[in-house]
Amino acid sequence: MFTDPVKNLKAFGLRENMIVADLGAGSGFYTIPLAHIVSRGKVYAVEIQKDFLTTIRNKTKEAHLNNVECFLGDIEKIGGTKIKDETVDAVIASNVLFQVEDKEKFVKETKRILKENGKVLLIDWSDNTSVFGVGFGKIIDKNKAKEMFLKEGFKIDREIDAGEHHYGIIFIKN
């Protein structure tokens, strides 16, 4: 494992009653630990692949977690997450930035769903190598990621240690 979701989430500083969106949730790598941390809150798992949502639903049922809602959604489209404006306290976006084609709309959609002063935990690959299956040239370096969020009015709260092959940045919606 190249990054530890529990360690990253602890560094993010979530509270048990928060509403959090896991954008590009995949198989639930962050969704499941999130649901435990925000036990009196809500987790929205947004994913474009139906099979992954089925996996997340099965994992939440197995773990007796009742605070996860799954959305088949497009994180690269304004309104594509199907989450209402200014609904969530925090967003997790792990290993998605290098995959999304319309990065500007992704950042705008993230901003749209966040409450005022809401936070984003961006975790992404820092190694530009095909060893991890990412592919040369697809990695968005940390400074470029910062630029994208700053351009949309976010401010940088801090960086976290997200592991040897990842960077972690926490942004706040102004």
For residue 122, give the nearest of 153, 73, 156 by alpha carbon: 156
Q: How far apart are CA 167 and CA 94, in angstroms?
A: 10
Question: What gap in Å lies between CA 154 and CA 148, rounded to an integer?
Answer: 9
Three-class secondary structure of residue 114 per DSSP? strand
Mean pLDDT of 65-81: 97
- Ranges of each domain in the chain: 5-173
Burial class (CB in 10 A: 0-12, 13-18, 19+), 146: middle
Class of domain 5-173: alpha beta
Q: For the residues 127-149, what does the mean pLDDT come to?
A: 74
Please give the Cα distance from 170 to 52 (Å, whole number).
26
3 pLDDT band, cuts 50/70/90, is confident
- Does pTM top 0.85 for this prediction? yes
Residue type, 59: K
